[in-house]
Structure 1
Amino acid sequence: APPSRHIAWDPGALPVAHRMAAALDATLVETCISRLVIDCNRPLDAPDLVPPVSETTVIPGNAGLSDKQRAARIDLSWRPFHDSIAGIIDERLARGQETRLVSVHSFTPVYKGKSRPWHIGIIHDEDRRLAAPLIAALKRLAGVTVGVNEPYSPADRVYFTLERHARSRGLACAMIEIRNDEISGEAGQRRWADLLTGIFSDLEPEEASGSRQRAVG
């Protein structure tokens, strides 16, 4: 049976990303495997690369892995995911195409017993070229509570993919986190994908000209 809990995947994020990528003529890279097997949005030395515990749930299949088993998981998903992103970006830059990197995720409304009020969060570090106009546009929406580096921030080690592929190349980037009860069904997925597509389409040319590269972790 497919995983049903948020500890295994980001419910709703992939349909949103697919719809956005199609509308924006963007390239989408997805991991295609549960983060319980290996979390592609973590560095290889992260303690939760292959998480022994996710939130409060012990993951028996991740206990006592040998170096060979760990390497097999890296080769199965982590390395192809990052090689794909790097290859696409390098090809675009070689052609002189302006490139932005955006990751699309979802988060659970309650985490370790604590409620999260934000409908959407934009995660960024000191490079705010993409995050600032995104946040400004989202804050203009009636009835939407926007988290800025909430419910996560780069300090939580969630920014690895963007650090590795965008920040290392001086490319503008941002991480989008949508609360998963907002995108649990097709109507919500359409609503948020179309809202975000509209915002990206309306950005000033110097902020987001050209096609955009998207990576979904």
Structure 2
Amino acid sequence: MMKSGIDQDALIQMFATATASGTEQVRKGVTQATLAALQGRELSLKNIRSVLKTVAQSASAGAAMNKLPGVDVEDLLDKAVVGMDEALLKAVDANRVALQQFVNQGADLREKHLKKALTDLEAMEDNFIGTLKKAAEGAGAQASTQWAPILEKLQAGGTLSGAKAATTAEQFVNQMHTAMRDTRAASLKAAQTLAESYTALVSGVLIGMSDALTQGGAAKPRGKK
């Protein structure tokens, strides 16, 4: 079954047949599947949620089917989260490169679509954790119990992709503020030049008035009648 550009059956099978020593392969498999799905669509929060939800649901279904000795379901789900996180790191990098290209071409980060890109980056971690929570809740009581410690750990320590997304957004926001400060500095410089011209003008007028007063001073005041 294909959903969100992901072969769910293949993912479920991967989790269902993973051995205790094969959890790293699960992580790599999740990273590759998630990244491939993200690459095949517009990189919006909506599409990211859709991909993460499908992966999480497949992980839950496959892990529940795994009855091999020594396999820790929680560890399998944890590797699934790490795999998704690694794929999202690539998505954050793609956003960073795209934003920098726009900036290099003179785009203003206050423009609507670029502001939305920054907002989406800032929301990346909440989006990730929120999607996992909903997927866990929809998978039934047993799956929710298995997901609980993983979600608790994520909420306490965060995700690598979330941290990098927040840092990237902050970097560009600071860059935007610096550009605004430079613009203001240029405006202030122009205002200062105008002010200096104005004071020079006032000085010239004052000199002219002084000369007139000096010349007029030679005339005697009119006496009283």
Fold shared per TM-score above 0.5: no
Higher helix share: 2
Q: Which has the larger radius of gyration?
A: 2
TM bin (shorter chain) = under 0.3
Higher strand share: 1
Greater relative contact order structure (CA < 8 Å, 6+ sep): 1
